[in-house]
Chains A and B, each alone.
Chain A
Amino acid sequence: MSFAREAGRAIRSTLVLWVITALIYPLVMVAFGQIAFPFQANGSILTNAQGQPIGSALIGQPFTSDRYFKSRPSTTSYSTADPTKDEAGVLKTGISGASNLAPSNPDLLKRIQETTAQLKQAGIQPTADLVYTSGSSLDPHITPQGARAQIARVARIRRLQPNQLEGLINQNTESRFLGIFGEPGVNVLKLNLALDALNS
C-alpha cells in the first residue's frame, strides 16, 4: 500500500472518530445533564433565600472563626482569595492541590506540630482528619469524631446545648454507599449553614 493511501486512511479515520467521541458524545452528555439533572450538572451549587449562590454541596470552604465548625487544613485555602488582591489568579479559574509531603519529610511533622498546638489552644482534641491536609484541598468533609471534638467550643460560643449540635452533626453526616463503600463524613459547609439557621 502506498504511503499516501496509508496516511490518508489514518487521517480520515482520525477525523471520523473525533467527531463521534470528541464532539457528539460530550455534547450529548452535556445536553442530557442540563435537562435531566441541572443541579448536579452545574456543580451542586447551594443558594440562599434570595437565590444567590453561596457554595457547593460537594466542595468544602475554609472556616477559621470560633462560631463555626472547622474544616480540614487545605493547601489552597479551599480555592479562595480576596477578590481585591488576587494576584495569583485563583478566582479566575479555581484551583486544587495537595501538600505532596512524604511521610518521612520533616516539614510534614513540623506543620502537624503547629496545627496540633493551634487546635489544642482552641480547645479541640486533634483528630487525624483535622491535622492532615486533604487530597484535593477542597474536601467537604470531616470525620464524625473530628466534628464531635469541636462541639464544646461551638456550643459555648453560640450558647447552644451540646446535644443540639450532636443532632445537627448526625443530620449532616453523609454515610457510606450502601452502608459499605467509603467512609462517613460530616459535610462542614452544610453543618455550618444549619448552625446559622438554628441561631437566626
Chain B
Amino acid sequence: MLQGWIQIALTLMIVVAITPFFGQYMARVFMGQRTFLDPVLNPLDRAIFLLSGMRSREEMTGWQYSRAVLYSNLAMLMFIYLIFMLQGVLPFNPTGLRAPSWDLALHTAISFVTNTNQQHYSGETTYSYFSQFAALGFMMFTSAATGIAVAIAFIRGLTGRPLGNFYVDLTQAITRILLPISMVAALVFIAAGMPETLSGPAIVPTLDNPAVSQAIARGPVAHFEIIKELGENGGGFFGINSAHPFENPNGLTNLIELVAILSIPTSLIITYGIFANNLKQAWLVYSIPLAILVGFIVIAAIGEYQGNPAVNALLGSEAPNLEGKEVRFGWAQSALFAVFTTASMCGAVNSLHDSLMPNGGFVTLSNMFLQIVFGGQGTGTAYLFAYLILAVFVTGLMVGRTPEFLGRKIEKQEVVLASFLILLVHPIAILIPAAITLTFPEQLAGISNPGFHGLSQVIYEYASAAANNGSGLEGLGDATLWWNLSTSFSLLAGRYIPIVALLLLADNMSRKQPVPATAGTLRTDTGLFTGVTAGVILILGALTFFPVLALGPVAEAFQIAKGIG
C-alpha cells in the first residue's frame, strides 16, 4: 500500500515542480518575448501568417475575439465533418470502413471541436486512420490551442492589457507549445512501445489454439497519444483509450501521460502571475485546486485499494478492485489517472470509470461539476479567476466596500457575466437534459447498471459533455440519435457560452481605469482571501449538484456497504 502512495506523491511532485518553468515559458511566448525556439519558429510563424492572409495583426475587442473563435471553430467543424462523411473514398483506410451515421459524425465533430472528445464509438471499428489523424488529430491541436488563446486573452484583459489577436495566439499556442512538446514526447512514446504505422491490423494464430486467430489493431498511435493528453483532449485512438496496451504500454508512458494531462492548466496559473506581476497571488490561487486535487486523490485511491467487499468475501482476502483495470497500473495509478483526467477535463482513461468504486464515482463527478480543479485547457484557469471575482464581490459585500480586483472596480456587469457563466450555464447544460432523459428511461436512457449507479451514468454523460471532459461511464448505451444530439447541445453550451462571457468580462476589465491601492483596499493575495475563495467555490460550485451526488455515488456506497443482491 505504501508503495502506491509513494507513486502518487512523486507524480504530484513532478507536476508541481514543472509548473514554474512551463508557466514562465508560456508567459514569454504570449508576451512576445524571446524564447529559445525563436530562430526556428519565427520564420514558420511568418509563413503561416502570410498564407492565412494575416498581413495586419490588429488588436481585437472582446466581441471581435469571440467572433474569430466562433468563425474559425465553425470552419474546422464543417471541414472535419466532411472528412468523416467521405472517409470511405479517402486514403489510409486499411480496414475499409465506411462513413458513420450523420448524427454520430456530427456528435464526434462537435465533441472534438469543443476540446471534449466524448466518444460514442470505438476507434478501431468506426474511423479510418485518415479520419483519426487528419480530422481528430487536427482538432486535438486546434481545440486545445483555442482554449489556451482564450485563457491568454482573459489574463491580458484582467491585467489591463488589450486582448490580443486570436489568430496569432492560436498559431503560437500550436507552434510554440503544443507541437514542439508533442514531437519530442511522440519519439519517446514510439521508443517505449507505441505503434506508429499506416499498416492495417496484424492477424496472428493464437498460441493456445491455432484454429482461433487474433486481430491486433494498430495504427499511427504515438503522435496522436501525446496531443491527446497535452491538449486535454482525451479521445482514444482505440475504443478503450489509455487502458489499451498500445496507447499506454508501461509505467513510463503512464507517467508522461499523467504529467502531460495537468501540465498546461497548472502552469497557466503561474503564467497569470507573471502577467499580473504578482507571483504570490498566483501560488495562493494555485493552492486551492491543488488542495482539492490531493483530497480527491486520497478519497478515490482508498476506495480502489479497499476493493469491493462482496468480491473480497469470495476471494477470502482483502484485494484492490481490479475490474476494468490493467495489471500494470494497479489501484494506485488507475485511481490517480481517473482523478487527473476528470480534474483537468482531459477525459482519457486508463481504467474504466463505470467500474470504479463509489468513491471514484463521487470524485470524478465532483471534478466535472467544479470545473476548476485546474480544469480544462485554458478555460479552467479562466473559471478559477471568475470565481476569484465572485469572491471579491462577496467579501466586498461583507465589509461594505466597492469590490476591486487588481485595482479595477467589479461592477454589475462583471458580476452578472461571472455568475451567469459559472452558476447557470453548467447546471442548465447538465441537469435539464438529464432530467428529460431520466423521464424516459426505457426509450432514451440506455442505462446498463441497475440502481443508483444508473443515475450516475446519465448524469456523468451530460456532466462530461458540459464540462468538455469527454470521459464516460461507458456501459451507457449512448450510440443513439437522442444521446448524440442531446449531448451535442451540452457540448456546445458548455463550451461557447462561457468562452464568449469570459472574453466580454476580460474586455470590460481591460477598459476600466485602475484605482490606486489604499490602506482600505481589500488585498486579494492573502491566505484569508484564498480561503474565502475556496469557500465560494465549494458553496457555489458543489452545492448545486449535491442532490445528484447524494442519489448517485453516495447512495451506491451505502448500498454496497449494506451488501449487494
Give the interface segment out of B21-29, B134-142, B515-523, B525-533.
Answer: B134-142
| Interface size in chain B (residues, C-beta < 8 A) | 129
- Establish whether residues A40 and B190, one from each chain, have CB atoms under 8 Å apart when the complex forms: yes
- Establish whether residues A10 and B71, one from each chain, have CB atoms under 8 Å apart when the complex forms: yes
How far in angstroms is the closest Cβ of chain A from B317? 9
B204 cross-chain contacts in A, Cβ below 8 A: 45, 53-56
| B512 interface hit (Cβ, 8 Å) | no
Name the residue among B135, B214, B217, B239 with the largest chain A CB count within 10 angstroms.
B214
| B182 interface hit (Cβ, 8 Å) | yes
With A and B bound together, what is the CA distance between A12 and B321 in angstroms?
Answer: 50
- Establish whether residues A18 and B251, one from each chain, have CB atoms under 8 Å apart when the complex forms: no
| Interface size in chain A (residues, C-beta < 8 A) | 106
| A13 interface hit (Cβ, 8 Å) | yes
Give B246's nearest chain A residue, CB to CB.
A58
A181 cross-chain contacts in B, Cβ below 8 A: 7, 10-11, 251-252, 254-255, 333
How far in angstroms is the closest Cβ of chain A from B482? 19
A83 cross-chain contacts in B, Cβ below 8 A: 213
Give B132's nearest chain A residue, CB to CB.
A26
- Establish whether residues A93 and B125, one from each chain, have CB atoms under 8 Å apart when the complex forms: yes
B224 cross-chain contacts in A, Cβ below 8 A: 26
- Establish whether residues A104 and B449, one from each chain, have CB atoms under 8 Å apart when the complex forms: yes
| A95 interface hit (Cβ, 8 Å) | yes
Give A140's nearest chain B residue, CB to CB.
B245
| B199 interface hit (Cβ, 8 Å) | yes
| B114 interface hit (Cβ, 8 Å) | no
Give B330's nearest chain A residue, CB to CB.
A183
With A and B bound together, what is the CA distance between A32 and B183 in angstroms?
Answer: 11
How far in angstroms is the closest Cβ of chain B from A91? 5
Give A67's nearest chain B residue, CB to CB.
B208
| A182 interface hit (Cβ, 8 Å) | yes
| B212 interface hit (Cβ, 8 Å) | yes
Partner of A45, one of B202, B220, B320, B330: B202
How far in angstroms is the closest Cβ of chain A from B102? 21
How far in angstroms is the closest Cβ of chain B from A46? 9
| A150 interface hit (Cβ, 8 Å) | no
Point out residues on B near A: beta carbons under 8 Å: 6-7, 10-11, 48, 51-54, 64, 67-68, 71-72, 74-76, 79, 95-97, 122, 124-125, 133-135, 137-138, 141-142, 167, 170-171, 174-175, 179, 182-183, 186-187, 190-199, 201-209, 211-218, 220, 222-224, 238-240, 243-246, 249-252, 254-255, 307-308, 310-311, 314-315, 319-330, 332-334, 349-352, 354-358, 448-453, 473-475, 556, 559-560, 564-565
Per CB-CB distance, the 4 closest pairs between chain A and chain B, nearest first, are A182-B251, A94-B217, A177-B251, A100-B475
10 cross-chain CB contacts under 8 A: A13-B54, A18-B134, A30-B197, A40-B193, A40-B195, A41-B190, A78-B214, A98-B474, A103-B356, A182-B251
